[in-house]
């Protein structure tokens, strides 16, 4: 063999008796075939076979299998971000003339995708009150093909009656999709409550280290999954095996991180609630939270993400109070090891139930730092507001 060829070919080595606990990273664009017959019939390999890197390698399939088992889905598919998961599900399943109903409290980019893209494709877009089954019933139409939920809702944490929504949607011939990023499949098994498509930003708790963007769509029905998978193939949407390996690693500690964040949130919320500078705390385990009884009925845990509303007259001091934080970082994409805080305004992202009062919400995400240091930060934050 000439040197140039030796440079190109990688010799096979013994793999027998090598067994690592770490999933291997299988990178590939092209897949090679043993003979002409295998190549000619590659299209018959089905969704679990390998034909091209875009459609999956053993590494991305391992992550899909892990998520599928955790969520109780018929099939899970990976996409490059959490928002891609919302948008791809909608684009793959809706056609011109169809109608989508979206919870008013959905992740704001899902709304802009619907308003700017789905409408452009001829899909009718409406929003419904996440807490009112009557409102949903009023707005659902024969053309409604997808009812989109997010429970709890972004920022204001309304918990939805998912089984009742599923019943209404299915009776009308619509599928139900639910963005389950906050709870993850650890705290809410959406498929067990009838949801057809579960969307999750793996960017948050699953990857868990603020260094990866990825999303997952889990499907209750294989046929629906394959329809979306075919759309992904046609539109060239896939994920990197290196990223998938990092999410596989992150998921090994996900249950611990999630439980830790819930416990930390409980302690910090106690401090915040007791202080006169805080008017309201939104977190589903709190009895005052909209839909708390539904959370108690359907969920088995809570994320460490909650939102605070300041008391009247306190918002002028917010920038200074944020500056007093030593351990919390200011940032939006939660679910990592670092505790985060972000001031949010949501007025532009609500149409069914406009924001009453000042449009200022402070969202906290609890990470893995020592709780005493986070408590000291909260104390400094509150002192600055007073």
- By CB under 6 A, is residue 207 in contact with ligand PLP? no
Out of 60, 66, 77, 107, the residue judged to bind ligand PLP by CB under 6 A: 107
Q: How far apart are CA 304 and CA 283, in angstroms?
A: 9
Out of 61, 77, 82, 136, the residue judged to bind ligand PLP by CB under 6 A: 82
Q: How far apart are CA 286 and CA 158, in angstroms?
A: 11
Report the DSSP pairing between strands 278-282 and 305-310: antiparallel
- Residue 84: name the closest of 209, 214, 195 by CA: 214
Please, what is the minimum distance in Å from the beta carbon of residue 363 to ligand PLP?
Answer: 10
Helix axes 241-252, 254-273, angle to 10 degrees: 60
Cβ 45 vs Cβ 159: under 8 Å: no
Please, what is the minimum distance in Å from the beta carbon of residue 151 to ligand PLP?
Answer: 10
Q: What are the E-state strand segments in 153-211? A: 175-179, 197-201
- By CB under 6 A, is residue 344 in contact with ligand PLP? no
Helix (H) or strand (E) segment spanning residue 101: strand 99-103
Torsion angle (degrees, nearest 10) of CA 330, 206, 373, 375: 80
Question: How many chain residues are in contact with ligand PLP, going by CB under 6 A?
Answer: 14
Out of 181, 184, 207, 289, the residue judged to bind ligand PLP by CB under 6 A: 181
Q: How far apart are CA 14 and CA 185, in angstroms?
A: 38
Mark the segment that binds ligand PLP (CB under 6 A) among 14-22, 76-84, 137-145, 313-321: 76-84
Cβ closest to ligand PLP, residue 158 vs residue 179 = 179
What is the radius of gyration, based on Cα positions, of the chain? 23
Cβ 159 vs Cβ 289: under 8 Å: yes
Cβ closest to ligand PLP, residue 198 vs residue 382 = 198
Mark the segment that binds ligand PLP (CB under 6 A) among 79-87, 95-103, 125-133, 343-351: 79-87
Please, what is the minimum distance in Å from the beta carbon of residue 283 to ligand PLP?
Answer: 15
Q: Angle at the Cα of 180 (from 112 to 311), degrees rounded to 5? A: 75
Q: Is the peptide bond before 152 cis (omega within 30 degrees of 0)?
A: yes
Per-residue contact string for residues 145-164; x = within reach of ligand PLP by CB under 6 A? -----x---x----------
Cβ closest to ligand PLP, residue 290 vs residue 382 = 290
- By CB under 6 A, is residue 201 in contact with ligand PLP? yes
Cβ closest to ligand PLP, residue 213 vs residue 360 = 213
- Which of helix, strand or coil describes residue 246? helix
Per-residue contact string for residues 212-251; x = within reach of ligand PLP by CB under 6 A? -x-x------------------------------------
Evaluated on CA atoms 134, 129, 193, 98, the torsion sign reads positive
Cβ 350 vs Cβ 108: under 8 Å: no
Cβ 162 vs Cβ 194: under 8 Å: yes
Per-residue contact string for residues 260-289; x = within reach of ligand PLP by CB under 6 A? ------------------------------
- By CB under 6 A, is residue 57 in contact with ligand PLP? no
Out of 108, 333, 338, 358, the residue judged to bind ligand PLP by CB under 6 A: 333
- By CB under 6 A, is residue 304 in contact with ligand PLP? no
Interacting residue ranges for ligand PLP, rule: CB under 6 A = 81-83, 107, 150, 154, 179, 181, 201, 203-204, 213, 215, 333
């Amino acid at each position: 063999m000439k040197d140039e060829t030796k440079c190109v070919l990688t010799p096979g080595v013994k793999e027998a008796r090598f067994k690592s606990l770490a999933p291997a990273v299988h990178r590939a664009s092209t897949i090679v075939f043993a003979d002409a017959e295998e190549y000619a019939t590659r299209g018959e390999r089905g969704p679990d076979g390998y034909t091209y890197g875009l459609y999956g390698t053993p590494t991305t399939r391992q992550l899909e299998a892990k998520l599928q088992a955790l969520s109780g889905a018929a099939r899970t598919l990976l996409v490059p971000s959490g928002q891609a998961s919302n948008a791809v599900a909608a684009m793959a399943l809706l056609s011109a003339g169809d109608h989508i109903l979206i919870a008013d409290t959905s992740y704001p980019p899902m709304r802009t995708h619907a308003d700017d893209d789905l409408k452009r494709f001829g899909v009718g877009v409406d929003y419904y009150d996440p807490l009112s089954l009557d409102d949903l019933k009023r707005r659902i139409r024969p053309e409604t093909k997808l009812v989109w939920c997010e429970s709890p809702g972004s920022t204001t944490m309304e918990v939805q009656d998912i089984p009742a929504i599923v019943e209404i949607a299915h009776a009308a011939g619509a599928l139900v999709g639910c963005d389950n990023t906050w709870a993850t499949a650890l705290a809410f098994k959406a498929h067990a409550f009838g949801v057809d498509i579960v969307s999750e930003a793996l960017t948050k708790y699953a990857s868990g280290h603020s260094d990866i963007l990825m999303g997952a769509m889990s499907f209750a029905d294989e046929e629906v999954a394959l329809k979306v998978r075919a759309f992904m193939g046609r539109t060239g949407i896939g994920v990197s095996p290196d990223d998938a390996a990092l999410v596989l690693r992150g998921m090994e500690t996900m249950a611990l991180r999630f439980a830790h964040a819930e416990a930390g949130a409980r302690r910090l919320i106690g401090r915040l609630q007791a202080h006169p500078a805080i008017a309201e705390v939104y977190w589903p385990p709190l009895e005052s939270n909209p839909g708390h009884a539904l959370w108690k009925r359907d969920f088995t845990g809570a994320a460490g993400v909650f939102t605070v509303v300041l008391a009247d007259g306190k918002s002028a001091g917010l920038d200074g109070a944020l500056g007093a934080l030593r351990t919390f970082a200011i940032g939006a994409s939660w679910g990592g090891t670092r505790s985060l805080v972000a001031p949010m305004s949501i007025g532009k992202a609500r149409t069914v139930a406009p924001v009453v009062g000042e449009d200022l919400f402070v969202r906290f995400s609890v990470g893995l730092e020592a709780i005493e240091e986070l408590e000291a930060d909260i104390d400094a934050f509150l002192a600055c507001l007073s």
